[in-house]
Each structure stands twice: as structure tokens, then as C-alpha cells.
Amino acid sequence: MKKKILTGDRPTGKLHLGHYIGSLQNRIKLQSTYDQYILVADLQALTDHFDHPEKVTQNIIEVTKDYLSIGIDPDQTTIVVQSQIPEIAELTVYYLNLVTLGQLNRNPTVKYEIQQKGYSKSIPAGFFCYPVSQAADITLFQAELVPVGDDQLPMIEQTNEIVRRFNKIYHTNILKECKAVLSKTSRLVGIDGKSKSSKSLGNAIALSDPPDVIKKKVFQMYTDPDHIKASDPGRVEGNVVFTYLDAFHSDQEAVADLKAHYRRGGLGDVVIKNILNDSLQRLLGPIRAKRDSLDTNMVKEILHYGTAKAAQLAKATIEMVREAIGIQSF
Ligand code: ATP
Ligand code: MG
């Protein structure tokens, strides 16, 4: 039997180049060898969008279109709508007994997000506990591999702690530990150069951005503030244009030459931005064209089919879990 993979994204906006390089490319590569499930994580998205649920519900179709347009094949990958699998919520409740507030408090990604969202005075409990529901996602689908960006490593660690605790307390081995699959660029910086590119920070290039928006964002990119005239020597490290050229340009030898030229001086920001713009337009043009050709009803059918298939696996796992704990039906 093929090993299982579980990944997913929160439908809080369209997917971007960070998703592409951080985990989507791995998912495309792995889908033919493994039994891959992708979760459109609408429940998890509600933990910080509960007061704007329409933002989440509207983006389920958009994110699914992103998957299909980059080459996720619904015959090989099962795309699942999280809220339609109630076993995830049930499993989360069992797992909440196995973690302490102290453990949740130590999670560096959640800590950072609490600060970023200004929650420090009153943290919604659902948000604080989302790593536990992520452990339920992964283990319900019996996943051994999880292709993610590196901000998710604390979630994988938390999942494995829960797995070990569950197996020990209930004298079983039904739950399996999982491993993250990271990519070469496991954290793509935003166009502002400050933090990782993300939907909520508005500093990302979406896979579906039209050509003029891509160009505008490339020309907004942070470079080297001391590189004032083209003739000045420039810094490549921390220069967002070069970070993106490293990640997305198809000819890395040409990128090495550009870096050497920029360092010695004589290469202007407009020239490197035009080169990056050309290479992003080449990458994203066909993805956008594929997206535009997708029929929304067909996309809904794919979600319906994937969710129904996933429901069977969810049922099988939850039955094992209930039996291990000793939950009875009457
Ligand atoms: P939000 O701002 O709503 O949190 P996001 O842009 O951070 O959205 P998520 O849906 O939280 O995206 O992330 C989904 C997956 O994509 C995770 O595995 C995450 O690690 C990966 N990912 C997101 N942004 C990046 C990035 N900039 N670089 C690498 N991986 C990323
Ligand atoms: Mg995020």
C-alpha cells in the first residue's frame, strides 16, 4: 500500500509564490508515488476569520482552482474540504486532553502569529489550539509525510508528541508519527523583504495575479537601500529580487553572473527587476491560462468526490481511535 501524505492550506485568499515554492512543487512531485490528501482547511481558517466567514467560504473554490492550475491531478490527489469531515473535530477533542497549555504556549509559530494579529490581550481559544486540530488532520488521514514550509515544523513536532502520548496512554500503536518534507526554499520572503510572504500580510505575488500586477509587485520589491546609482556596488544578500531570481529563474548560471555583476557595480535595479518580471511572467502565464479554462461546476464535483473518498478513511481511523480509548456506542 502507498504511504499517505497530508497537506493543506487555509482558504483565506488565493495561493501565492510562497506556497508554490514551499510546498506545492513537492506535492506535484510526490503525487504519483504516494496517496496524497490535500485539505482545504476552512475550519482552521475560521480560527482567525470567525467574524468574516464569507472570506473563507468564497476562497474554497479559488484555492482549489489554484491546485488544479498548477498541476495537482485529482485522479492522483484527493482534495478534501475540512469542515465536511466531522471526525476531525471529534479527534481534536480527544487530543486536547493530551496537551498542556504550557506546550501550546511554547509553539513559536503560534506565538509569532498571536503578536502579528494583535491577539496578545485576548487570544481566541480556537486559534490558540489550532496546532491540535492540525495533529487531528494529519493523523486522521494516517499520513506519514507532510510537505510544508518551515513555519509548520513546530506543528509536526506537536503532532508527534500527541501520537506518542496517545499510543502510550491507550496502550496501542494505531497512530503513526509523521515527517515534514521541506523544499530548498522553505520560507519565501515577501516583496517587502520583512517577513515571509503571506496572504494576510499582502506582501505576496499570487499565482493568479494578472501580468500588470505581477510587474507592479516586482517593481515594489525591496533591494539594497545603499545601491543608489547603477554604477554603485550592490548587495545581493537580503535583496528580494535576487531571492526570487534564486527561487524562480530557470537559468541559475545566468543568475550567478547577474549577482557577480551587481556586486561589482554597473547593474541597475531596473534591469534586474525586468529580468525577474520576465521570468515570473513565463512561469505564471500558463498557470493563469489553465486557471481561466477551469469550469466552476467541475471544480465543485472534484471537491465533492474527494471529500466523499476522504470520509471513508476518516471513518475507519476514528473507529480505531474510539476502540483504543474504549468509547462505546449504545
Ligand atoms: P495566512 O496569511 O492566511 O496564514 P499563508 O500565506 O501564511 O496564509 P497558509 O495557508 O498559512 O498560507 O500556509 C499553507 C502552507 O503553505 C504551509 O505549509 C506553509 O508553510 C506554506 N507557506 C505559506 N507561505 C509560505 C512562504 N512564504 N514560504 C514557504 N512556504 C509557505
Ligand atoms: Mg499562515
Q: What is the 3-state secondary structure (H, E, C) of 30-86?
A: HCCCCEEEEEECHHHHHCCCCCCHHHHHHHHHHHHHHHHHHCCCCCCEEEEEHHHCH
Res. 286 pLDDT band, cuts 50 70 90:
very high
Closest Cα to residue 183, out of 3, 34, 7?
Answer: 7
Closest residue (by CA) to atom 26 of ligand 1? 18
Q: Is the confidence at residue 120, as pLDDT, over 90?
A: no
Closest residue (by CA) to atom 15 of ligand 1? 9
Q: How far is the CA of 214 from the centre of ligand 1 (A)?
A: 19
**Same domain, residue pair 267 and 124:** no
- Asked whether the whole model's pTM tops 0.85, one would answer yes
pLDDT digits (tens, 9 = 90+) for 20-71: 999 999 999 999 999 999 999 999 999 999 999 999 999 999 999 999 999 9
> Which CATH number goes with the domain that contains 220?
1.10.240.10
Q: How far is the CA of 184 from the centre of ligand 1 (A)?
A: 15
Q: Does any ligand 1 atom lie closer than 6 A to the CB of residue 147?
A: no
326 Rama class: left (phi>0) / alpha (psi -120 to 50) / beta:
left
pLDDT given for residue 121 in this prediction: 83
Give me the number of domains the chain comprises. Answer: 2
Q: Does any ligand 1 atom lie closer than 6 A to the CB of residue 188?
A: yes
**Same domain, residue pair 157 and 282:** no
Tell me the one-letter amino acid at 81: V
**Same domain, residue pair 117 and 150:** yes
Q: Does any ligand 1 atom lie closer than 6 A to the CB of residue 59?
A: no
User: CA–CA separation, 167 vs 247, rounded Å?
Assistant: 41
The domain of 156 spans 4-189+296-325
DSSP states of 103-152: HHHH-HHHHHHHHHTT-TTS--HHHHTHHHHHHHHHHHTT-SEEE--GGG
194 falls within a domain: no
Q: Does any ligand 1 atom lie closer than 6 A to the CB of residue 199?
A: yes
Q: Does any ligand 1 atom lie closer than 6 A to the CB of residue 18?
A: yes
**Same domain, residue pair 94 and 154:** yes
